[in-house]
A and B are shown apart, each in its own frame.
Chain A
Amino acid sequence: MKHKSDEEFLRELLNDFKIEAAEHLQAIVDGLLKLEKRPGAEIEEKLIELVFREAHSMKGAARAVNLTRVEQICMSMESVFHEAKNKKRALQPGMFDLFYRATDFLQTMVTEIDLPHKSISQKEITQLTGEIESLIKSEKKKSGISLFKPSIHKGKTDKEEAAEKRETSQSIIEKTSDPAPSVQAAEALPSTSAETIRVSAEKLAQLLRQAEEMITIKTAISYQLKQLNAALNNGDNGLQKIADGLNHEKRKLTLALDELLLAIKKTLMCPFTSLLNIVPRIIRDLGKEYGKEIDYEIDGGETEIDRSILDEMKDPLIHIIRNCIDHGIETRDERLKVRKPIAGLLKISIFLDSDHRVVIQISDDGRGIDSKKLVNAAIKSGMIKRSASKDLSKQEKLMLLFKSGVSTSPFITDVSGRGLGMAIVEEKVTKVGGSVSVETKAGKGSTITITLPQTMAMFRGLLVKASDQMFLVQSTSVAKVIYLKPEDIKTVESKKTYLYFDESLALVNLSDVLAISDRRFRKSKTYPKPVLIIQVSNRKIAFVADEVLDEHEGIVKTLGSQLKHVKNIAGAMLLGDGRLVPVLHLPELAESAMHHGEAVEYVPPGGEEEIATDQKDSILVVEDSITVRNVLRNIIEASGFRVSTAVDGMEAYEKLQKEAFSLVVSDIDMPRMNGFELTTKIRDDNQLTDIPVVLVTSLESAEDRKRGLEAGANAYIRKGSFEKGNLIDTINRLI
């Protein structure tokens, strides 16, 4: 419309920078990970050079777009690696955490470029760069040629040093003659990736959208045809030719369209490597967190898949890796006992199966999954009944792993043990039309297999009328459409239900759940009324609609940038006649239906429900900071608990003697008696020993978690994460 404004120009520049920065950052992180493994002086030298160059380039790019904060961090990294490069100082294992912190900062800053809110303050940056730069100042000494060797040989004569240099270079020759390190050397060099063209994903998405619009044309023609046929039936024979012609056009268009869509979808595919790049870092961090040594093998990274599917796979991958490292791979001592190598092995392989589906296999050589434990955990969380558990097949038992709320971990932290991670895996995989399965062998390890379509499938939905409005319901989630007669409705505890085979399903009006039943709409349609039996995960609900029309195929569009998410609605699809129809978000709809007064699952008379309501659980919050104490109190009280507080472990222990509490939430660092001591005291006290204890702390280390576990705490939550509902979920699980 107009020439570009400065603002637009700057935004374009920043977008370019974002893409470039991501590449530099990935190269830096890769380099650091390889360096940390100490692959030998020669490779280290190359890697240092690489990190130095990448940091330098990123610095330059940041300066160009006036991102001084990014520039500052890059510059400090650059100077350290400059020193290392010139052998003026040695890199030491302890420094790497600092480097990773720097890359994390950069990552955050790059993703936040467009946002007005910056989560990292200038103070933090100054502190970080100060720390990095102090590495140079504190250690400006000569060191040996091995870049890692600590500078213990200060004061050696030049001769001695020269001799040592010869020695080391000899050892390098020995090393390189050994086949193994040469493989590593190849790995250390930047990979020569397959020939690619850089096209912005946005442009490609636009292309796809244009092609998608052709579908509308196709359906429009179909619609016209229908109209024409109607006219024909009225006896006008002259129209026959037009109908034939149109039909021919439609076939041609369909063909061309399918080809175009496929071609564009292929352009939008990208190799798995772009996702797998993050894996080494995750394994390293998790290994450190759980105090386990992990080796990994990755292959098949070149396998291509639809970008949108790949994006959805990031969380599942992280959760599975975490699960493998946390639950699968044994501790060092355990591994020694069963004569396994100390380092656990995590294998990720990706390949195409004969049906052109993408298969991801993630396996570990750990202890395997204990299906008995899983079943018990599922019973405990109320997922299944003890009586029903006996009928489960082995595979069915294992699949409980993917059910929300099932966790075998006795210890809850904010990242594991909540039983959510693996449920997310299943949810995301099914969302893109894939499936997940698990195999295990006691003592040998387990393998999780995810099978995915290579491209996104077309959406098929049933057009349904509720009140005066049309909606689409994903066909695959509709188990059955039945026509309801008044006598089919059973009332249980004043809730309407419908008996489907031998299951009693909640029966709800779609227009009530969507709150559109009060619209001026004459409910002319009486019984029999169509009912959609909808299956969401393992729950079925019967939704009463006013009309069920036909099935439509097409692309679900997002609701646009202003409507990020509207409750119960997943998107919208364009029909042939130009109508835009909302597509229902079934998991949310099921949730809404459950909260909607009419539908409460069948509870037998004299159920447990009533007890919980009048007796509020009371919780003791122990925390020395008044701010945190009040935050905790507010959060917990908002969820319907009674809260008492204590300023330290001592006061808490006194209160516990006088009053009964259902749970204790405690800080760790406190005067007089800290959280560990309090936990130990509670466990040693016969009267109190069963009270669940949740430790809340700003520290998150394997060491602390271990201490907490030893003291007898039930869960461990990091400060800052509890407002997300983490804390309340944990409390609810433990009470």
Chain B
Amino acid sequence: MNEQDKRILEERAKLQALKPVKAIDESNFITAVTFVLHPEYYAIEYTYVKEVVTMKNLTPLPGAPPFVMGIVNYRGTVVSALNLKKLFGLKEMGLTEFNKLMIVSDGTMTMGIVADGIEGNIMISKSTLSNPPVTVSETAAELFKGVTPDGMILLDAGKMLKSSKMVVDQ
């Protein structure tokens, strides 16, 4: 590497390093956990996600609505494992793993959401969210908070946990 190249690189590095970090106003952002429901990407507010576990020993419940895949033991309590695709009336496509369980809770209501995989955390700017497409079902539209510019669907966990539609009482 010659001197000139080195200088150029150093300058470039300096330029990059000095770039002021823009202060983020947290109130405009939502921290969310992203997950896969093959082939789509979803996000759910971080505050409601208690834990992500690998699902084993799922017990199906005869007679429960289709979106209830069954129940699992989560630290001594029974938690239901829900298939959101069935709930939203979305088509299930291809082979999926469906072995990750997100324990979602607001303190009163606790449910498990089944996913193909967990991607990680992201910050979503509220202002960039757009309305869900009009083609989704009514239930889905109610529980979607919005869609990010790259097409990820942000769920309204707070609403979902409070919605009477989610509760099975036969």
Residues of A within 8 A of B (CB): 1-2, 5, 8, 11, 114, 116, 209-210, 212-213, 216, 469, 514-516, 557-569, 571-572, 574, 578-582
Contacts and interface: CB of A to CB of B under 8 A. Distances in A.
B57 A209 contact: no
Contacts of A568: 62-63
28 contacts: A11-B107, A116-B162, A209-B76, A213-B75, A469-B59, A469-B62, A514-B62, A514-B63, A516-B62, A557-B77, A558-B78, A559-B78, A559-B80, A560-B71, A560-B78, A561-B109, A562-B68, A562-B110, A562-B166, A562-B167, A563-B61, A563-B71, A563-B78, A564-B169, A565-B170, A566-B63, A571-B78, A582-B62
B66 interface: no
B79 A560 contact: yes
B47 interface: yes
Interface of B: 47, 50, 56-57, 59-64, 68, 71-73, 75-80, 82, 107-111, 162, 166-170
Contacts of B107: 8, 11
Contacts of A578: 56-57, 73
B58 to A, nearest CB: 9
B78 A572 contact: yes
Given A11-B107, A516-B62, A563-B168, 6 more contacts: A216-B76, A469-B62, A566-B61, A566-B64, A572-B59, A580-B57
A235 to B, nearest CB: 32
A374 to B, nearest CB: 34
A562 B62 contact: no
B59 A563 contact: no
A563 B64 contact: yes
Given A469-B62, A562-B80, A580 B73 contact: yes
**What DSSP secondary structure best describes chain A's contact surface?**
mixed
B61 A569 contact: yes
Given A563-B68, A569-B63, A212 B109 contact: no
Nearest to B105: A561
B168 A566 contact: yes
Contacts, number: 101
A130 to B, nearest CB: 34
Nearest 7 interchain pairs by C-beta = A564-B169, A213-B76, A514-B62, A567-B170, A562-B111, A580-B59, A567-B63
Contacts of B77: 209, 557, 560
A558 B79 CA distance: 9
A634 B62 CA distance: 32
Contacts of B166: 562
A515 B62 contact: yes
Contacts of B167: 561-564
Contacts of B63: 514-515, 566-569
Contacts of B73: 574, 578, 580
B50 A1 contact: yes
Contacts of B111: 560-562
Contacts of A566: 61, 63-64, 68, 168, 170
Nearest to A514: B62
Contacts of B109: 561-562
Given A209-B77, A469-B60, A560-B78, A572 B71 contact: yes
B60 to A, nearest CB: 7
A580 B71 contact: yes
A10 to B, nearest CB: 11
A563 to B, nearest CB: 5
Contacts of B108: 11, 114, 561
A563 B80 contact: yes
B82 to A, nearest CB: 7
Contacts of A581: 59
A578 B80 CA distance: 16
A587 to B, nearest CB: 14
A562 B168 contact: yes
Contacts of A514: 62-63
Find the residue from A1, A558, A569, A580 having the highest chain B CB count within 10 A.
Answer: A580
B120 to A, nearest CB: 16
B159 to A, nearest CB: 11
Contacts of B162: 116
A515 B66 CA distance: 13
B69 to A, nearest CB: 12
